[in-house]
Chains A and B, each alone.
Chain A
Amino acid sequence: GENVEQHPSTLSVQEGDSAVIKCTYSDSASNYFPWYKQELGKRPQLIIDIRSNVGEKKDQRIAVTLNKTAKHFSLHITETQPEDSAVYFCAASRSSGYSTLTFGKGTMLLVSP
């Protein structure tokens, strides 16, 4: 089955800095890679996703890059703000409505004012 490794487990940055979270996956058939943000005690929220037919996707201050050859993908957050503080999870699956997501263990991002 799929295995997703996520690094780092914690990341502390100053407000305004950039943050990068990296994930690797094992199943070469995976082609859907979402990122979720989870604030303390809240639900995971889908913030951005990428499919294998593109190498990069941006949405305002967040972007995701994908390297299918190396089987890794990354989340980039620019101009971080204190409200970006949360746990971020990456996941991978085959792009089928029957497929299940395999999640990484999460990265706790702390943005200091």
Chain B
Amino acid sequence: DSGVTQTPKHLITATGQRVTLRCSPRSGDLSVYWYQQSLDQGLQFLIQYYNGEERAKGNILERFSAQQFPDLHSELNLSSLELGDSALYFCASSVGGSTGSYEQYFGPGTRLTVT
């Protein structure tokens, strides 16, 4: 157990819908990262937050957005869902910051199925 939690574990929804994935980082970690892993694909970095502020963006679609709240949990919002959005979505956390450690620890993931 890495200490990073994600809910829900599974999510099944229809095309065109909107869903919200939630992540709570390890105690003491200020940085949260979101990744997408499609079938037979590697880990695609989506977005990073540090202490409530967006720090880096990767291959995140405009239909996707995220935020990190004052209690440091983060939510990833996926809208106008398409079949191709079906994937495992992982959250990872690290202490972060200019002097903090940068080892990333992953949560258990949310498996999204769009039908």
Contacts and interface: CB of A to CB of B under 8 A. Distances in A.
Contacts of B105: 46
Contacts of A43: 2, 90, 106-109
Given A96-B98, A100-B33, A105 B108 contact: no
Contacts of B58: 100
Q: How large is the interface on B (under 10, 10 to 19, 20 to 34, 35 or more residues)?
A: 20 to 34
Given A44-B90, A89-B42, A105-B42, A98 B103 contact: no
Contacts of A99: 102
Given A43-B90, A97-B31, A98-B55, A32 B43 contact: no
Chain B binding surface, main DSSP class: loop
Interface residues of A, number: 23
Interface in B23-49: 31, 33, 41-43, 45, 48
A56 B50 CA distance: 31
